[in-house]
Amino acid sequence: MRRIHELDALRGIAAIAIVVFHMRFLDASPAMGSAVDLFFVLSGYLITTIILEQGRSSGFFWTFYARRSLRIWPIYYLALFACVAVNPLLVKREPLDGFWYYATYLQYVPGYWHAETPAFSRLFLHTWTLAIEEQFYLLWPLVVVVLGRKRLLWGIVPLVIAPIALRAYGFHRHMLFTRCDSLALGALLSLLFLDRDWTEERRSSARRAFVAIGVLALVARQVVGPMLTRFDPVPGGAWAVWMFAMATAELNILYFAVVGIVLLDHGHRRLRWLRSPALVHAGTISYGIYLYHPFVLIFAPIIQRAIGLKGSPWLDVAKLALCVGLAEISWRLVERPLLRFKDRFPYHREPNPLLKGPHSATPLKANEAQAESSHSQ
């Protein structure tokens, strides 16, 4: 099975949407700001597929964690120490009290007991998504290997439902167990697609189902939810909180449907626009786009004011181009060279008891490569 370039394109679109959201629409368009959940759905799918295929091979955990570390850690810590290094250059220095929380991927973990994480630089606040992914990488392989493929659905269903309740009951929204419904839906896609014989009839039925699910989720988010909030007897009360918690779940279900359709139809001419080399490459470097973009968006206005430039759409385009340029430099000089070391940590190819069927090893090259280049937020 070849690499699914359309998934890379989705990742690139999500990265660009996040930059634009943070640049222009922070208050006006919360839907764009939730593009991070698309990354989570993609990660849930790709990582679960790798675990199901290789989870019981010898040395799996060492290999899995080594390869994930090579992908995530280098530029994460590069950006973290850059926050500290540039802090003296700021007119108003950023707080660095929470350094060790961010250095150990524990940002927002105190939210489980309704405590506050010590303050840290605005340049790194967005890395709550990376903390969620890192915690997911640590825990999910153990869950999948213990449950196995046949019982995995019983582990996925609670992880889709519980985060909605936790969000509604006031737990911080930037933690693994309040945001893992998107990751769990991605894992569900892995169960649906892995080692399945897709006849054209099955494919057509699945496509109609995904379209229906996506339309219902979109209507619920954009029409039904806002309409129901009007019946809240106390504005901003418990009903509104539940509707807000459901809005994230509805968007996750929409992303579940979108990724499902792409998995069904990848390679088809109707999705040829998602195979655009520019979009695919944007997905390849999306981790850097996401990680570095606050540096551009915070420092650019300072420089802009210093030289007397007025804001304009063209200036925003230049900022976006600079975000992409930094990510490209990072990809060529840091990420891609280090990823070559992953060849020292190969997955062993012996048969996997988690799977049955002659095609169980076929998708691994595509899914593994896809995950190695993932945005990882």
In Å, how far are 34, 38, 248, 319 from 179, measured between CA atoms?
11, 12, 9, 30
Cα(330)–Cα(8) distance, rounded to whole angstroms?
18
pLDDT, averaged per 10 consecutive residues of the chain (377 residues), comes to 84 93 62 76 96 88 95 97 92 93 96 94 94 97 92 95 93 94 97 85 94 94 76 66 86 96 93 95 97 92 81 87 97 97 84 45 47 51
Q: Report the predicted TM-score, pTM, of the whole model to 2 decimal places.
A: 0.90
> Are the C-beta atoms of 370 and 3 separated by less than 8 Å?
yes
Query: What is the structure's pLDDT at 26?
Result: 53
Tokens representing 134 are 């890192």
pLDDT (0 to 100) of residue 358: 35
Asked whether the beta carbons of 170 and 247 are under 8 A apart, the reply is no
Nearest-CA neighbor of 374 among 130, 101, 105? 130
**Amino acid at residue number 358:** P
**What backbone phi and psi angles, to 5 degrees, belong to 177?**
-80, -5
Handedness of CA 354, 359, 362, 363 (dihedral sign): negative
Q: Which residues contact 327 (CB under 8 A, 6 or more apart)?
A: 285, 286, 287, 288, 289, 291, 292
Residue among 377, 319, 349, 366 nearest 54 (CA) = 349
Q: Is 56 exposed, middle or buried (0-12, 13-18, 19+ CB in 10 A)?
A: middle
Q: Can you read off the two tokens belonging to residue 41?
A: 């759905």
Give me 103's structure tokens. Answer: 């250095």
> Distance between CA atoms of 76 and 91, rounded to whole angstroms?
25
Identify the CA nearest to 283 among candidates 44, 38, 64, 105.
Answer: 38
CB of 41 closer than 8 Å to CB of 186:
yes
b/e burial code for range 23-45 (CB count within 10 A of at least 16 → b): beeeeeeeebbbbbbbbbbbbbb
pLDDT of residue 304: 82
Question: What per-residue confidence (pLDDT) applies to 192?
Answer: 93
Query: Phi, psi (5° rounding) for residue 298?
Result: -90, -40
